[in-house]
Amino acid sequence: MCKVKSVEYQALRLMIDTIQSAVDAGDLERAQDTVFTKFVKEFKTFSRNIDESMGSHPETFFIDLFSTAFNMVAKRSLKDKEMY
């Protein structure tokens, strides 16, 4: 038996983990391109075999969502970053 997680769950978990590790490292502003590239690469790795009939959001949805979330966190104060 194994636990199967949805694409949405995996993508959101990847977003959280990637942004959180960048915040913890303190390099949000300096390494934006690196963090974004890392997310896209890891997301494409697990999403390339998605069955289209499962009704998942398209890749661009998750990439745009990550970009928006990253920008929101990167432009906030340290106190706000902890909250988000």
Q: What pTM was computed for the model?
A: 0.67
Domain that holds residue 70: 7-45+59-83
d(CA 67, CA 64) in angstroms, rounded, equals 5
Does 51 map to a domain? no
Residue range 4-9: mean pLDDT, rounded: 72
Checking if the pLDDT of 14 tops 80, the result is: yes
Q: What are the residues whose beta carbons fall under 8 Å from the beta carbon of 59, sequence distance 6 or more?
A: 43, 44, 47
Does 73 map to a domain? yes
Does 54 map to a domain? no
Does 52 map to a domain? no
For the chain, what is the domain count?
1
Does 32 map to a domain? yes
Q: What are the residues whose beta carbons fall under 8 Å from the beta carbon of 65, sequence distance 6 or more?
A: 11, 15
Checking if the pLDDT of 68 tops 80, the result is: yes
